[in-house]
Amino acid sequence: MMRCRWADPRSDLYVAYHDHEWGQPEHDDRKLFEMLILEGFQAGLSWLTILNKREAFRTAFDYFEPVVVAQYGPEKVEALMEDTGIVRNRRKILAAIQNAKVFLSIQEEFGFFDSYLWGFTGGQVILNTDDTPHTHTELSDRISKDLKRRGMNFAGTTIIYSFLQATPFCRAWAWSTTTSWLASVIRGIGQSPKTITRSHQWNLVKRTLCYILFPVLI
């Protein structure tokens, strides 16, 4: 299987997350809330740190039921601050509670948080086709701005971009990985990669996406 560079093959947990969860279409609002909160807790840390603590997070945060999290009071906050299984950052914990309240208000307005997000893309997965590594995009900028306007914290554009890729509402295509894969395909049919232009490479990528990637994402 072709994997993204960040999926450290030395970590079974990371590989399992990449292969079976990351980039899979997700329409369950509770799971979207979980990913949104975990992405916020990741700020300044590695995603592997969050994965290692994920089950503890689920237990501590009532399996990320936004209705429950939104009702957390001071006693619960202090209990979370004493929980060694999670990231004990008071600002992030308070942000999770505040974000649950905003999440519920979005559900009330749009029916589903999922519907709110897809409204930004017209129901389409946004594919980033250049070969520049991104920490944010115009889409994540817009969503981040709107979420913060509604009162969410730890919802900066980099956090939202990571969330959008994981769920996935947008998709970055790793060019170096793609061209390496294309080179092997081209060699297999007896052509030299040097004779294939960048434009031709991208046309092959688009055809591949149409037949392989998009049926999975829809």
User: Is the per-residue pLDDT at 179 higher than 60?
Assistant: no
Contacts with 96 (C-beta within 8 Å, 6 or more apart), sequence order: 37, 40, 41, 61, 69
Q: Kindly state the average pLDDT of the residues 166-179.
A: 55
pLDDT at residue number 148: 98
Catalytic residue among 47, 173, 181, 202: 47
Interior angle at CA 134, CA 130 and CA 139, nearest 5: 90
Query: Tokens representing 45?
Result: 């840390």
The listed CATH number (1.10.760.10, 3.40.640.10, 1.10.340.30, 1.25.40.80) that belongs to domain 12-172:
1.10.340.30
Residue 42 CA, chain-centre distance (Å), reads 12
Catalytic residue among 14, 22, 39, 72: 39
- The average confidence (pLDDT) of the chain is 81
What pLDDT digit, counting tens, does each position of 98-114 carry? Answer: 999 999 999 999 999 99
Q: Is 161 a catalytic residue?
A: no
Q: In terms of C-beta density within 10 A (0-12 exposed, 13-18 middle, 19 or more buried), how is residue 1 classed?
A: exposed
What pLDDT digit, counting tens, does each position of 64-78 carry? Answer: 999 999 999 999 999
Length of the chain: 218
Residue appearing with tokens 């590989």 = 15
User: Is the per-residue pLDDT at 1 higher than 70?
Assistant: no
What pLDDT digit, counting tens, does each position of 196-212 carry? Answer: 344 444 444 444 444 34
pLDDT at residue number 194: 41
Q: Is 63 a catalytic residue?
A: no
User: Where exactly are the structural domains of the chain?
Assistant: 12-172, 176-217
The full 3-state SS of 126-192, as one line of letters, equals EEECCCCCCCCCHHHHHHHHHHHHHCCCCCCHHHHHHHHHHCCCEEECCHHHHHHHHHHHHHHCCCC
What are the Cα distances from residue 10, in Å, to 6, 23, 46, 51? Answer: 11, 20, 15, 14
pLDDT at residue number 89: 98
What are the Cα distances from residue 2, in Å, to 162, 176, 197, 217? Answer: 20, 12, 23, 17
Partners of residue 128 on adjacent β-strands:
172
Catalytic residue among 17, 22, 116, 175: 17
**CB 93: neighbour CB atoms within 10 A?**
25
Query: Do the bridges between strand 126-128 and strand 170-172 make them parallel or antiparallel, or are there none, so unpaired?
Result: parallel
What pLDDT digit, counting tens, does each position of 4-59 carry? Answer: 777 778 888 888 888 888 888 888 999 999 999 999 999 999 999 999 999 999 99
Q: Is 55 a catalytic residue?
A: no
